Structure 1
Amino acid sequence: MSRLLTDDEVTTQLEGLPGWSREGDAIVATIEAPDFPAAIRLVAAAADEAEQMNHHPDIDIRWRTTSWLLTTHDAGGLTQLDIELAHRISAAARAEGATPGG
């Protein structure tokens, strides 16, 4: 099991993740894709990354807006897995021309 991050570690790591913020024991982001097909490609790319990591996000898709929630359920909060997956989701978003916000 991954180690829980301290509050200071979470705050520091979020500085390198534009568009991501903390909500309790999770980090969240809303990412706006240029169009619906790009949003679906983003979700598919993130799903591939999540499967490789065996760490799966909660995702909501509304037209071209995707909402993401990451937490490590079995650890009871935020771990480095959540930070790493957020970086991978952000990279996939950039590749699709998607931006934080929505």
Structure 2
Amino acid sequence: MSAPTRLSADEVNAALRDLNGWSLENGKLHRQFQFPSFIEAFGFMSSLALVAEAMGHHPEWFNVYNRVTIDLTTHDAGGITQKDLELAQRANQLAR
């Protein structure tokens, strides 16, 4: 199986226009989600973990109480790929 193709800076910037709340930070897609409680933040993480596992693509993330910070990159490709964009979109859907 070959590594996913790294997106160009122009492709990433164009995609960011459609990814509400996401930005580019240190070469990774970045977003912080905030929830009403720890339980809701943890539930979000659990749901997204199932999606990530099914995709075979796992986030770098950090949780403190009601906040979940996510950074996405595809290490095999050395940057952001379509997989990162898809996982970011799914995170946004789950956070609603």
With the length of structure 1 as denominator, give the TM-score of the two structures: 0.89
| Counterpart check, 1:25 vs 2:5 | no
Q: Deviations over 1:21-75 (max 9, x none)?
A: 0113210000001111100000001101100100000110010011000000011
In 2, Cα distance between equivalents of 1:63 and 1:3: 35
Match of 1:37 in 2: 39
Q: State the identity as a percent.
A: 39
Structure 1 gaps of 5+ residues are: 95-102
In 1, Cα distance between equivalents of 2:21 and 2:72: 13
State the 4+ residue runs in structure 1 displaced beyond 4 angstroms.
none
Q: Which amino acid aligns with 1:37?
A: I
Q: Which amino acid aligns with 2:15?
A: Q
| Counterpart check, 1:10 vs 2:33 | no
RMSD: 0.7
Q: Which amino acid aligns with 1:46?
A: L
In 1, Cα distance between equivalents of 2:81 and 2:26: 13
- 8 Å CA contact 1:4–1:78 kept in 2: the answer is yes
Matched residue pairs, number? 94
